[in-house]
Amino acid sequence: MLALGPALALALAAVPPPAVAPASAAAAQPPAQPTVEATFEHDLVTPTGLVRLTWPSISYDRENGEIFVAAEGFVRIFDASGMEVHRFGDDGSLGNVSRAVVLEDGAIVVLTTLNGRRAYFRCDFRGEPTEQFGLTGLPQELADFNPDQMVYRDGALYFAERGTMRVVVTDLSGAFRRSVALRDLVATAIVGDTDRKPPAGMDAFNVDGSGNLLFTMSTMFAAGVVSPAGEVRLFGSRGSRPGKFNIIGGIDADERGYVFVTDRLRSVVSVWDGQLRHLGDFGYRGDDPSNLLTPYEIAVGNGHVFVAQAGKRGVKVFRVRLVVPEPPKPPPPGPQPLGARAAP
C-alpha cells in the first residue's frame, strides 16, 4: 500500500465533506392552501329590526357596497352597514319583481311578472322605470324561453331558465348574443362516469368576473363551472363531510376566483379555490349569530358574503378572509466543518 506523506495527509483532512441536501429540500413541497376565516358581521335590518324574509333573491353591487334584495314582489336596498336605505316596486307598478341587478351607471334592471307574463324593466337609481324591454332576436328553438334568473356582468345580461338549464346572453337592451345549453354540456362531460347521471335541472345560476358560468345541481350533488370556451368542470360529491354536498344551494365567486357554495341540509357555506379544491366551511345550523338556517342564495364581493336563509331568518352578512400561510423559512446554515475556509 502506498504510504501518504504527513503533509498530504493533513491537506486531505482539511477538505470539507460534500454537502448533503436535507431530505425535506429534496422533495418539492406543494404550495400551502389558504384557510377560511369567517366572522359574522350583521343581519340585514330596518330601524325596527330584522327583515324577516325566507330565501329572497340577492345581488351585490360591489362598486357601491349595496345589497339588492328582491322578495314579496318588490326590491329592498341595504347599505354597507346592513340598514335598509330604499325600496321600490312595493306599489305594484312593476308587477311581482323576482330579480334585480345594478349596472355601472347606477341603473337597475329588474326581472318581474306583470299581468301573468315575464317582463323586464330598466329603472333609474331610485327604481323608477325608464324603459320596458323584451328579449329580441332569439332563435326559434328558444321561442318558449322563460327565465327565472338574471345576472349582470361586464356589459351583458345573463338570463337562465333553471328547469331546462338554458342560458341566454343579451346586451343591455335584451338583444340576443348567444345561448348555452348547460344540460347538454354536462351530459357530454359525464359520459363514461358511472357515478353521475344527467341532471334534471339546476338549482342556482351565476356568472363570475371572468365570464365563467356557475351553477349547482342538487340531483347530482355537484356544482359546475363552464368557461366562455365551453369547458366543463364539475366538483363535489354526495356526503355529509366537509368537501361534499348534501342538498346543494346557491353559488357565487369573489374577485379572486374563490367559489362559495351553500349546502341547505348541512347549513354551511362551502369555499373552494380556483382549481376547485375545497378549503373549508363556515356557518352550520344553530341559534348563534354566526350560525345559519337552511341557506340558499349567496352573493360575494369586497370580502363580504351575503347568505339568504329559510325560516324568515332573512340575510346574514359575513366578513370572510382567505389566509395564505407564509412559506416555511429555510433552516439556518449548519456549523462549518473544521478546516473550512470562508470564500474570499
In contact, 127 and 89? CB cutoff 8 Å: yes
Angle among Cα 119, 65, 312 to the nearest 5 degrees reads 65
Q: Report pLDDT for 33.
A: 87
What pLDDT digit, counting tens, does each position of 258-308 carry? Answer: 999 999 999 999 999 999 999 999 999 999 999 999 999 999 999 999 999
Q: What is the C-alpha R_g of the chain?
A: 28
Does some domain include residue 13? no
Q: What percent of the chain has pLDDT over 90?
A: 81
Phi, psi of 49 (to 5 degrees): 130, -160
Q: Which of 105, 67, 135 is nearest to 301 (CA)?
A: 67
How many helices (H) and strands (E) are present in the chain, helices listed first? 3, 26
Is residue 191 assigned to a domain?
yes
pLDDT at 10: 47
Hey, is 26 helix, strand or coil? helix
The pTM of the full predicted model, rounded to 2 decimals, is 0.86
Q: Which of 31-35, 148-152, 175-179, 267-271 has the lowest mean pLDDT?
A: 31-35
Contact 307, 43 (CB under 8 A): no
Q: What is the mean pLDDT of residues 110-124?
A: 97
Sheet order of strands, 204-207 included: 204-207, 213-217, 222-226, 232-235
DSSP tag of 320: E
- pLDDT (average), residues 313-339: 83
In sequence order, the 6+-apart residues with CB closer than 8 A to the CB of 4 are 12
The pLDDT of residue 343 is 54
Q: How many residues does the chain have?
A: 344
Place of cell 351575503: 306
Burial class (CB in 10 A: 0-12, 13-18, 19+), 328: exposed
159-199 pLDDT, tens digit each: 999 999 999 999 999 999 999 999 999 999 999 888 888 89
Q: Considering the domain boundaries, does residue 197 fall inside one?
A: yes
Q: How far apart are CA 69 and CA 112, in angstroms?
A: 13
Annotate 197-221 with b (16+ C-beta within 10 A) or e (fewer). Answer: eebeebbbbbbbeeebbbbbbbebb
Convert the pLDDT of each residue in 232-247 to its tens digit: 999 999 999 999 999 9
Backbone dihedral angles phi then psi of residue 242, each to the nearest 5 degrees:
-55, 140
pLDDT of residue 25: 46
How many Cα atoms within 13 Å fall on the side-chain side of residue 54?
4
Please check whether residue 204 lies inside any domain of the structure.
yes
User: Is residue 331 assigned to a domain?
Assistant: no
Q: Give 328 or 219, the one with higher predicted confidence.
A: 219
- Residue 267 sits in a domain whose CATH number is 2.120.10.30
Neighbours of 96 (CB within 10 A): 15
pLDDT average, residue stretch 46-74: 97
Residue 332 lies in a domain: no
| Cα 261 to Cα 312: distance, rounded to the nearest angstrom | 20
Three-class SS of residue 235?
A: strand
> Contact at 8 Å (CB) between 82 and 317?
yes
pLDDT of the residue at 50 = 97
Mean confidence (pLDDT) of the chain: 90
Would residue 245 count as lying in a domain?
A: yes
Residue 306 belongs to a domain: yes
Query: Which residue from 169, 111, 162 is spatially nearest to 139, judged by alpha carbons?
Result: 169
- How many separate domains does the chain show? 1
**Which pLDDT band holds residue 342 (cuts at 50, 70, 90)?**
low
Amino acid (1-letter code) at residue 176: F
Domain span at 40? 33-323
pLDDT of residue 11: 47
Q: Is residue 23 scored above 90 in pLDDT? A: no
